Structure 1
């Protein structure tokens, strides 16, 4: 399981993060609300017993973050989600999902409807000992909970940690963009590489939709997701965008104008063989506590394609993609990152920008047009 650590806010720099829970399980509502109440940087503002009840209460509670169960009587979480987003502008919703095929399908749909993140939901009968769930929940809450000037929760860079591993004590500084690198428009782009994490499914939808049918090179995608979820995400993107999106397989030949998504639980890299470029999947250890990770994909891209690469880093916690991006830049490749305002979490793209590796910082609606311009040799 992946979790992320972020600095704990203090009363001196911001008010507590207001959290609401909508879940039909009284056991989960009670225990999680007590967990939240024990944290100085959080305030439990109330709960709902189903989607309809939660929708009635949410405007009054005005939470920064809602933990929303999927399966509930009267109104389920998927039905309630868009109505909650409309009723409480700017609220961030974490879906409580089961790690099953049906749970994954509903979760992917929720993420494309505007949910900020998801968390695997433990069985109510065993939740009292669910330390992994507790740690992952709070790292996600803190990652989503930094305040913008208007007081609403906003993106915060986060450091990924394995659930159960010691949480680093040192603070993780805000990402501050340095100067942009000059664009290299002299070389022909032969492949496009995209990395994403928290908030990625919706960001990917917008990018894929803007590129479909217009890119004559293969596209490689790494999104931090577990097994089952990536195959469903690929199918969902294919249907939504009328695009060729496939979950990558070992030794697959990359196809132009096709999106190749790294499968959960494996790292995806590219390799040059006697028969041309192939996709290789490996079972190497997690990098940046993620598997699949963006860094190995970017490193392999630098080795295989050199400066004939365009890389993109979208919304996500942590700094995955930064060190691989450094290898790409050393070879003369260009990197575009998503801007902070349109990111759910400006960890990954912010870390690349702060390292001085980005040639462009764009809002999500300008990422695809910028890619197409660079492919034509024009500055975005």
Structure 2
């Protein structure tokens, strides 16, 4: 069957005003660093650089930002207190929480997502760590661009000459034009019939918007978890995955933990790839076990979804049911193709309910999905499929 999809906002040929970004952090060094990165991009600009959450709340209506990068720990008013007040004044505001990698900040960041923040980003412990700062810069700019695409406003001045990314070719030379973030997409995507093979394991891949989506999904598949193993790769740093696993356990009422290298994979358990390590599966004595690896990033991610999906084929062959939830990029697409080629099935979250339709959009456009569903329809579908109902 064919499913209609909206045109990608990143590929429109219409000129857009730069995204207006408010940077809120009590560190002048961090504010200056982030502001320079933003001003180096053609499609975004710093609308304001602010020291406290209270100042941000007082100025948000005047500044009218599209995106706010919001620190957690600040004087006068911290980020988690400012968050609902900012959203109350501007309901469509995109807020990205920024924090250092501590258990407390990880917990606060996940709470912020439940209060309406769009995403989070871990700050490096020290800006002198060049590698860490480079990763922070890349991830932050990508998040601002992808999340901000939802609130882009067409400029009033037409632009007859556009770059392939839909940005003016005459942009300031001091700024860099980024390449298209997604390939051209057709107006429709085609789904394939469900494989008749009975699923024996559930694999889930997610990224931006994933924690909220995972909570919704996991809450509705208790009967599946009880009878089959569930393995999840969520793009997340260390410490954050520790907290996420605890939230998944509370939400599902079933055991959930960061996977441990060499442990057996059993029904009734939720295994979460630990931040900073790729999770694969292998066989030991004929039984499936977890295999963690500390190799380089894959698809700019660590953990990545593709290693889990690809390795699972040797263990469960055609008995794999994989789900791709909201997220940036295309991680999971390669592994999904392999799963389908081996006789398994793939379901993707639809565009309307995804925070970013990157990962699910990639598998949808690759033609490997047996279904493309709104988030609230995925759990009931999984329950039926694992109960033996085909298609």
TM-score of the pair, normalised by structure 2: 0.82
Conservation of the 8 A alpha-carbon contact between 1:207 and 1:367: yes
Q: Structure 1 residues 126, 274: CA separation in 2 closer, same or farther (over 3 Å shift)?
A: closer
**Structure 2 match to 1:195:** 205
Please state how far the C-alpha of 1:61 moved relative to its aligned partner: 3.0
SS of 2:381's equivalent? helix
- What per-residue deviation string (whole Å, max 9, x for no partner) do you get for residues 257-293 of structure 1? 3211011222212223324222222233322122211
Please state if 1:292 is matched with 2:294: no
After TM superposition, the structure 1 = structure 2 runs for residues 223-262 of structure 1, keeping only pairs within 5 Å, are 223-262=234-273
* Distance in 2, Cα, partners of 1:242 & 1:150: 43
Farther-moved stretch of structure 1 (30-39 vs 260-269): 30-39
Please state if 1:281 is matched with 2:295: no
Please state if 1:49 is matched with 2:51: yes
Q: How many residues align?
A: 361
**Structure 1 match to 2:173:** none
Query: Which residue, 336, 361, 368 being the options, matches 1:350?
Result: 361
**Structure 2 match to 1:77:** 79
Aligned alpha-carbon RMSD (Å): 3.1
* Distance in 2, Cα, partners of 1:284 & 1:192: 24
Please state how far the C-alpha of 1:351 moved relative to its aligned partner: 0.5
Please state how far the C-alpha of 1:100 moved relative to its aligned partner: 2.7
Q: Structure 1 residues 60, 363: CA separation in 2 closer, same or farther (over 3 Å shift)?
A: farther
Conservation of the 8 A alpha-carbon contact between 1:238 and 1:245: yes
**Structure 2 match to 1:66:** 68
**Structure 2 match to 1:372:** 383
Conservation of the 8 A alpha-carbon contact between 1:112 and 1:201: no
Conservation of the 8 A alpha-carbon contact between 1:9 and 1:41: no
SS of 2:190's equivalent? coil
Please state how far the C-alpha of 1:168 moved relative to its aligned partner: 8.0
Conservation of the 8 A alpha-carbon contact between 1:45 and 1:61: yes
**Structure 2 match to 1:361:** 372
After TM superposition, the structure 1 = structure 2 runs for residues 1-380 of structure 1, keeping only pairs within 5 Å, are 12-122=14-124, 130=133, 132-147=135-150, 169=179, 172-176=182-186, 178-184=189-195, 186-215=196-225, 216-378=227-389
- What per-residue deviation string (whole Å, max 9, x for no partner) do you get for residues 61-93 of structure 1? 332211001001222111222332343222221
* Distance in 2, Cα, partners of 1:70 & 1:344: 22
SS of 1:332's equivalent? coil
Farther-moved stretch of structure 1 (194-203 vs 226-235): 226-235
* Distance in 2, Cα, partners of 1:46 & 1:87: 16
Conservation of the 8 A alpha-carbon contact between 2:327 and 2:360: yes
* Distance in 2, Cα, partners of 1:11 & 1:20: 26
Structure 1 unaligned blocks of 5 or more = 1-5, 152-156, 158-165
Structure 2 unaligned blocks of 5 or more = 1-7, 155-164, 166-175
